[in-house]
Chains A and B, each alone.
Chain A
Amino acid sequence: MTAPLDVPESARESAPAAEAAGMDRKAIQGRSLGQIAWMRLKRDKVAMAGLGVIVFLIVVAVFAPLVVKWFGHPPLEFHRDMIDQETQVPKDAWGGMSWEYLFGVDPLWGRDIFSRVVYGARISLLVAFLSTLLSVTIGTVLGITAGFFGGWVDTVISRAMDVFLAFPLLVFAIALAGVVPNDAFGLSGDGLRVTLLIFIIGFFSWPYIGRIVRGQTLSLREREFVDAARSLGARRPYIIFREILPNLVAPILIYSTLLIPSNILFEAALSFLGVGVRPPTPTWGGMLSDAARIYTVPHYAIFPGLAIFLTVLAFNLFGDGLRDALDPRGNR
C-alpha cells in the first residue's frame, strides 16, 4: 500500500475487499467467470459510463492530431494577436473562448488550450497505462514469489515492500527525476522524460499490488485444489501458472484499474512540480502549474483540472464497477 501523494491511502484500495476477491468463487454451469462479470458490468450503468469516457479519452488521445486539426489549432502554435501585449493575458473575456478556440487561449502566447488538453491526454494516459503495467508486472512476480516460496524469500521481498512504503515517495520521485541527465539510456527529449516518468511511477507503485498478490498467493497455496495438484505430482511452475495465477487475475485486474487513476494523479503532480515532460510539450499538470502562477486567468486552470478530474473519475467509476462485478460479495 503506497500513497505517494497527499492522497488518501484508501483512495487506492480497500484492504478487506482485496482479501476477499478471488476467493469463494464457484462457476455456474455454462458460463465462464468472465461472461458473468461482463453481464453484471453491463447492468452497471455508472461503470459503463466510466468505461465510455475511458474509451472516448483513448480515442481522442490516439487521434489527437486529427481532433486538433478539425477542432483546434496545433498545440504549440502561438496566437499572440489574441493576447493583450500590455499585460500578457487574453484580450477577450472568458479567456478568448469561442468556436475558434473552444477552451480559450493560454496567457502569454495565446496557444489553443483545447489542443493542449487533447495532447496532454496522450502523455497522461500513456504514462498511466505503462507505469501501471510495470508495477503490476513487478508486483505480481514478486508477490507470487514471496507468497509461494515463503521463508527467507518472503522476508526479503516483504522487507523491500516495507522500505518502499516508508519513503516520502513524491519527494523521492522529484529528486530522482531532477538528477537524470538529458540523454540517458539511449533516449532523449520527450521520449526520455516519458520513459523516466513511467519507470519512476511504476517502480514506486508496485509494492501495493505486490502485497495484495502475496496475500492471495499465501491463502491460495494452502487451498485444497493446490494440495491436490501437488499430490498428483505437479511441478512448481505448473502450480504457479495453471493453478494460482488464474485465480489472481480478478484481483489484479481490479487493482490495476484502480491504480491507473492514482498514477494519473501522480504524473500530474510531478508535472505540476516541474519535473515531468519538458516544455513546450503540453501536460495537464504542467498547464496547471503555469495557471497557478497566473491565477487571474481562471479558465487556464479549469480545463486541464477538469480533464484530470474526469479521467480519474472515469477510471474510479469503472474500477468500482469492475470490483462489484468480479467480486459481488464486497457490495452485499
Chain B
Amino acid sequence: MVTYIIRRLIGAVFMLTIVSMVTFAIFFVVPQLAGATPEGMASRYIGRTATEETAKLAAERLGFNDPLVVQYGRYVKGIVAGAEYDYGAGVEHCPAPCLGYSFTTQQPVFPDLMNRLPVTLSLALGAAVLWVGIGVGIGVLSALRRGSVFDRTAMIVALAGVSLPIFFTALISMQLFSYGNPFDFAAKGGTYTTIQDSLPLWAYSLLLPWVTLAFQFAASYARLTRAGMLETMGEDYIRTARAKGLRERNVVFKHGLRGALTPIITIFGLDFGLLIGGAVLTESAFSLNGLGKYAIQGITDQDLPKVMGVTLLAAVFVVVANLIVDLLYAVVDPRVRLS
C-alpha cells in the first residue's frame, strides 16, 4: 500500500513536470517562433509610456534574455526552494512553493491562487453535493422502475441536461431567475459572499451557479447510475442475494448500488478534480472570481505565471483526485487489490 502510494506520487511529480513544461513552451516558444524578441515580449508588461530602454530593463528583470532552459529551471527552483523577487525598494523572499510573480500586477501568484481557491471550491463542492445526491437518486429510482413514466421522463430530462451547453443554461437561468425577472429570487451576479462572512448569504449567492452546474452533472450521473444499476442488478450475486431471502432494500443498496458505484467514483474523482482546476465557463458566465476566471485573465494579459499557476494547481487536483479514487476503489470493491 505504502509503496503503491509512493510510486503514484513519483508518477504524479513526473506528470506535473511535463504539464509545466508544455505550458511554458506554449507561452515562450510559440511567440519566439513567431519572431518576438525578449524586449518585444517585455513591452507587453510595461505600459504604453515606456521607452525602448525601459523595455530592455524590463526584459532583463523578467529574465527574458536567458535561454529557455534557464528560465524554466528558475521557475522550477522557485517551486521547490522559493525565490527572491526584486520589488524595487528591496528584495522579497517568496517562500516555496513560489509560483512566480505576475508580470502585470507584480503580485505573487501562489497567494492569489489560494485566495481564489475557496470560490471555486465552494462552487464545486456545493454543486457536487447536489448532483451526486440528485443524480444517483434518480438513477437508482429509474433503474428500479425501468420503463415507467418516471424512468422515461427522468431519462429524457437527463439527456437534455447533458446536451445543453453550460454557458447557454447559465444565460437562460440568469434571464429567468435574476435581473430582468420573471422569477427574480436568485442572488445577483457578482455578489459572492465568503462562507466566513455569512453562511446563508454564501449559499444564497451560489445557489444559481450550483443548480446550473449540478443540472448538467446530475443528468449524466443519473444516466450512468441507471446503466450501472441495471447491469449490476442483472449479476449473479444479486440473484444469489435475493435467493438467500435478503430484504429487497438490502439487495438494492448493499449489493446493487455498491457494484454500480465503482465507475461513478472514478468519474466523480476526475470531474471534481477538473472542476476545481477551473470551472472556466461557469465562473465566467456567473462572474465568480475563481480560478477559472483567473486563468482567463492570465491568458488575456499574456501573464504566464498566472496561467502556469492555475494549470499546475489544476493538474495537482486531478492527480490527487485520481489517487484518492484508486484508493477508494479498494474500499468499495474488495476485488481490487493495489499493487
Q: Does chain A touch chain B in the assembled complex, meaning CB atoms less than 8 Å apart?
A: yes
Which residues of A line the B interface, CB within 8 A?
1, 3, 5-11, 14-17, 159, 162-163, 165-168, 170-172, 174-176, 178-181, 261, 265, 268-269, 272-273, 285, 288-289, 291-292, 295-296, 298, 301, 305, 308-309, 312-313, 316-317, 320, 330-332
Chain B, interface residues (CB within 8 Å), range:
35 or more
CA–CA, A323 to B162, complex, Å?
17
Contact with A170, one of B171, B263, B267, B281 (Cβ below 8 angstroms): B281
Contacts of B228 in A (CB 8 A): 14, 16
CA–CA, A273 to B165, complex, Å?
13
* B266 lies within 8 A of A15 (CB): yes
Contacts of B266 in A (CB 8 A): 15
Contacts of B94 in A (CB 8 A): none
Distance from B239 Cβ to chain A, minimum over Cβ atoms (Å): 13
Contacts of B223 in A (CB 8 A): 10, 14
Distance from B145 Cβ to chain A, minimum over Cβ atoms (Å): 16
* A168 lies within 8 A of B314 (CB): yes
Shortest beta-carbon contacts, A-B, top 8: A8-B220, A305-B168, A168-B314, A313-B163, A312-B163, A10-B220, A11-B220, A168-B277
CA–CA, A298 to B172, complex, Å?
9
Most buried by A among B14, B163, B267, B277: B163
CA–CA, A16 to B221, complex, Å?
14
Contacts of B100 in A (CB 8 A): none
Interface contacts (Cβ under 8 Å), in number, total 191
* B162 lies within 8 A of A167 (CB): no
Contact with B299, one of A159, A171, A272 (Cβ below 8 angstroms): A171
Given A179-B26, A272-B281, CB of A15 within 8 Å of CB of B168: no
CA–CA, A176 to B270, complex, Å?
23
* A166 lies within 8 A of B163 (CB): no
Contacts of B275 in A (CB 8 A): 6
Contacts of A272 in B (CB 8 A): 165, 167, 281
B interface, over-half SS: helix
Interface presence of B310 (CB below 8 A): yes
Interface presence of B295 (CB below 8 A): yes
* B166 lies within 8 A of A6 (CB): yes
Distance from B238 Cβ to chain A, minimum over Cβ atoms (Å): 13
Q: Can you spell out 30 A-B residue pairs with CB atoms less than 8 angstroms apart?
A: A6-B275, A8-B217, A8-B221, A9-B270, A9-B274, A10-B220, A15-B266, A17-B231, A159-B14, A165-B318, A167-B19, A167-B314, A170-B280, A170-B281, A171-B299, A174-B280, A261-B163, A265-B165, A269-B281, A273-B281, A273-B284, A288-B168, A288-B171, A291-B171, A295-B171, A301-B171, A301-B175, A305-B172, A331-B227, A332-B230
Interface segment out of the listed B27-35, B51-59, B109-117: B27-35
Given A167-B314, A178-B299, CB of A16 within 8 Å of CB of B231: yes
Contact with A316, one of B19, B162, B216, B311 (Cβ below 8 angstroms): B162
Contact with A180, one of B30, B171, B292 (Cβ below 8 angstroms): B30
Interface presence of B256 (CB below 8 A): no
CA–CA, A273 to B160, complex, Å?
23
Contact with B165, one of A167, A174, A268 (Cβ below 8 angstroms): A268
Given A159-B14, A180-B30, A265-B165, CB of A5 within 8 Å of CB of B281: yes
